[in-house]
Structure 1
Amino acid sequence: MRRELRGLFLGVRPHGRGRLPGRGRWPGRDRPHRRRHHGLATLRAKLTVMNVVILALGIVVATAVTITSMRHYLLDRIDSELVSSRTALENTGFTRAQIDALSAIGSLRDDLLLADAAGTLPRPETVFVAVDGEGRPVTFAGIPPTARQRELAAEVDDPRALAATDAITDVHFGGDTFRAVGARLGDGTVVVMATSVEAVRDGMAKSLKVDLGVGAGLLVLLGVLTLMGARHRLRPLEDMVETASAIAEGDLTQRVPARKDPVLEIEQLRLALNSMLHQVESAFETRERSAAQLRRFVADASHELRTPLAAIRGYLQLYDKGMLREQADRDRAGQRVRAETDRMARLVDELLTLARLDQQAELVFQEVDLSRLAREAAEDLRVQEPDRPVRVSADGPLLVRADESGLRQVAGNLLANVRIHTPGSAAVHISVTRTGDRVLLTVTDEGPGLPAEDAARIFDRFFRAGGGAGSGLGMAIVQGVVAAHGGEVTVDTAPGEGLSVRVELPAARRSAQAPEQPPRRAVF
Structure 2
Amino acid sequence: MTIKVRLIASTAALLCVATIVIGIVAIGAVTRNMTDRIDGQLKEYLRQPTVQSVEIFTDGRGSRVEITSPYQTMATVLVDSDGRVVSLQRAGYSTDQLAPPSVPDPVPPPGTFQTVPATDGSVDYRIVTAQVRIHINDGRASKVFTLIVGYPLTEVAAVRGNLIGTMVVTVVLVSIASGVAGWWITRRGLQPVEDMIDTAAAIADGDLDRRAEAPGHTEMGRLSRSLNRMVGKLVDTINDREAGQARLRRFVADASHELRTPLATVGGYTELYASGGAPPGPKLDRAMSRIHAENQRMARLVNDLLLLARLDEDTPDVWEPCDLTRLARDCVDDATATSPGNPIELVAEESVMVRGDEARLRQVIANLINNTRQHTPPGTEVRVSVSTEDGDAVVTVTDAGPGIPVEHRERVFDRLYRVDPSRSRSTGGSGLGLAIVESIVTTHRGTVTVADARPGSVPPGTMVTVRLPAY
- For Structure 1 versus Structure 2, the TM-score category normalised by the shorter chain is 0.7 to 0.9
Indicate the residue corresponding to 2:54 in structure 1.
96
Helix, strand or coil at the partner of 2:23: helix
- Cα distance in 2 for partners of 1:403, 1:163 equals 108
Indicate the residue corresponding to 1:473 in structure 2.
432
- Cα distance in 2 for partners of 1:391, 1:169 equals 118
Q: Residues 163 and 182 of structure 1 are in contact (CA less than 8 Å); yes or no, is this contact kept in structure 2?
A: no
Q: Residues 491 and 501 of structure 1 are in contact (CA less than 8 Å); yes or no, is this contact kept in structure 2?
A: yes
1:490 aligns with 2:449: yes
CA 1:434 to 1:84, structure 2 compared with 1: closer, same or farther past 3 Å?
A: closer
RMSD over aligned Cα atoms: 3.5
CA 1:53 to 1:182, structure 2 compared with 1: closer, same or farther past 3 Å?
A: same
1:172 pairs, out of 112, 115, 118, with 118
Q: Residues 176 and 196 of structure 1 are in contact (CA less than 8 Å); yes or no, is this contact kept in structure 2?
A: no
1:453 aligns with 2:407: yes
2:17 pairs, out of 52, 57, 69, with 57
Q: What one-letter code is carried by the residue in structure 2 that aligns with 1:88?
A: Q
Indicate the residue corresponding to 1:502 in structure 2.
465
Helix, strand or coil at the partner of 1:441: strand
Q: Which deviates more, 478-487 or 377-386?
A: 377-386
Q: What one-letter code is carried by the residue in structure 2 that aligns with 1:506?
A: P
Q: What one-letter code is carried by the residue in structure 1 that aligns with 2:310?
A: R
Indicate the residue corresponding to 2:199 in structure 1.
243
Indicate the residue corresponding to 1:196 in structure 2.
152
Indicate the residue corresponding to 2:185 in structure 1.
229
Q: What one-letter code is carried by the residue in structure 2 that aligns with 1:450?
A: I
Q: What one-letter code is carried by the residue in structure 2 that aligns with 1:501?
A: V
The aligned runs of 1:318-357 (5 Å cut-off) are 318-357=272-311
Indicate the residue corresponding to 2:163 in structure 1.
207
- Cα distance in 2 for partners of 1:444, 1:139 equals 128
Helix, strand or coil at the partner of 1:243: helix
Q: Residues 211 and 228 of structure 2 are in contact (CA less than 8 Å); yes or no, is this contact kept in structure 1?
A: yes
- Cα distance in 1 for partners of 2:412, 2:14 equals 71
- Cα distance in 2 for partners of 1:437, 1:499 equals 25
- Cα distance in 2 for partners of 1:310, 1:237 equals 63
TM-superposition CA deviations, 1:263-321 (whole Å, max 9, x none): 2x333323333332332222222222211111111111111112122222233333444
Indicate the residue corresponding to 2:228 in structure 1.
274
The aligned runs of 1:503-522 (5 Å cut-off) are 503-508=466-471
The aligned runs of 1:87-126 (5 Å cut-off) are 87-89=47-49, 92=50, 94-96=52-54, 109=68, 111-114=70-73, 126=74
Q: What one-letter code is carried by the residue in structure 2 that aligns with 1:477?
A: I
Q: Residues 214 and 225 of structure 2 are in contact (CA less than 8 Å); yes or no, is this contact kept in structure 1?
A: no
1:391 aligns with 2:345: yes
Q: What one-letter code is carried by the residue in structure 1 that aligns with 2:464?
A: V
Q: What one-letter code is carried by the residue in structure 2 that aligns with 1:488?
A: T
- Cα distance in 1 for partners of 2:131, 2:315 equals 113
CA 1:152 to 1:381, structure 2 compared with 1: closer, same or farther past 3 Å?
A: closer
CA 1:255 to 1:325, structure 2 compared with 1: closer, same or farther past 3 Å?
A: same
TM-superposition CA deviations, 1:205-246 (whole Å, max 9, x none): 111111222333233333333332223333332332233223
CA 1:199 to 1:319, structure 2 compared with 1: closer, same or farther past 3 Å?
A: same
- Cα distance in 1 for partners of 2:355, 2:115 equals 106
Question: Unpaired runs of 5+ in structure 1?
Answer: 1-39, 99-107, 115-125, 509-524
Indicate the residue corresponding to 2:60 in structure 1.
none
Please report how far the alpha carbon of residue 451 of structure 1 lies from its aligned counterpart in structure 2 after TM superposition: 2.0
Indicate the residue corresponding to 1:101 in structure 2.
none
CA 1:192 to 1:147, structure 2 compared with 1: closer, same or farther past 3 Å?
A: farther
Q: What one-letter code is carried by the residue in structure 2 that aligns with 1:497?
A: P
Indicate the residue corresponding to 1:85 in structure 2.
45
Q: Residues 129 and 192 of structure 1 are in contact (CA less than 8 Å); yes or no, is this contact kept in structure 2?
A: yes
More strand by share: 2
Q: Residues 305 and 344 of structure 1 are in contact (CA less than 8 Å); yes or no, is this contact kept in structure 2?
A: yes
1:45 aligns with 2:8: no
Please report how far the alpha carbon of residue 452 of structure 1 lies from its aligned counterpart in structure 2 after TM superposition: 1.7
CA 1:128 to 1:365, structure 2 compared with 1: closer, same or farther past 3 Å?
A: closer
- Cα distance in 2 for partners of 1:309, 1:292 equals 25
CA 1:138 to 1:460, structure 2 compared with 1: closer, same or farther past 3 Å?
A: closer
CA 1:335 to 1:55, structure 2 compared with 1: closer, same or farther past 3 Å?
A: same
Q: Residues 79 and 146 of structure 2 are in contact (CA less than 8 Å); yes or no, is this contact kept in structure 1?
A: yes
1:259 aligns with 2:215: yes
- Cα distance in 1 for partners of 2:85, 2:318 equals 125
Helix, strand or coil at the partner of 1:111: coil
Indicate the residue corresponding to 1:218 in structure 2.
174
CA 1:487 to 1:113, structure 2 compared with 1: closer, same or farther past 3 Å?
A: same
Please report how far the alpha carbon of residue 455 of structure 1 lies from its aligned counterpart in structure 2 after TM superposition: 2.9
The aligned runs of 1:20-39 (5 Å cut-off) are none
Please report how far the alpha carbon of residue 421 of structure 1 lies from its aligned counterpart in structure 2 after TM superposition: 1.8
Q: Residues 429 and 443 of structure 1 are in contact (CA less than 8 Å); yes or no, is this contact kept in structure 2?
A: yes
1:298 pairs, out of 228, 232, 252, with 252
- Cα distance in 1 for partners of 2:434, 2:81 equals 131
CA 1:436 to 1:66, structure 2 compared with 1: closer, same or farther past 3 Å?
A: closer
Indicate the residue corresponding to 1:416 in structure 2.
370
Q: Residues 76 and 88 of structure 2 are in contact (CA less than 8 Å); yes or no, is this contact kept in structure 1?
A: no
Please report how far the alpha carbon of residue 476 of structure 1 lies from its aligned counterpart in structure 2 after TM superposition: 1.0
Q: Give the number of aligned pairs.
A: 436
Please report how far the alpha carbon of residue 365 of structure 1 lies from its aligned counterpart in structure 2 after TM superposition: 2.4
Helix, strand or coil at the partner of 1:463: coil
CA 1:352 to 1:88, structure 2 compared with 1: closer, same or farther past 3 Å?
A: same
Q: Which deviates more, 437-446 or 191-200?
A: 191-200
- Cα distance in 1 for partners of 2:358, 2:405 equals 33
Q: Residues 378 and 392 of structure 1 are in contact (CA less than 8 Å); yes or no, is this contact kept in structure 2?
A: yes
- Cα distance in 2 for partners of 1:193, 1:489 equals 108
CA 1:201 to 1:337, structure 2 compared with 1: closer, same or farther past 3 Å?
A: same
TM-score by length of 2: 0.80
Q: Residues 382 and 388 of structure 1 are in contact (CA less than 8 Å); yes or no, is this contact kept in structure 2?
A: yes
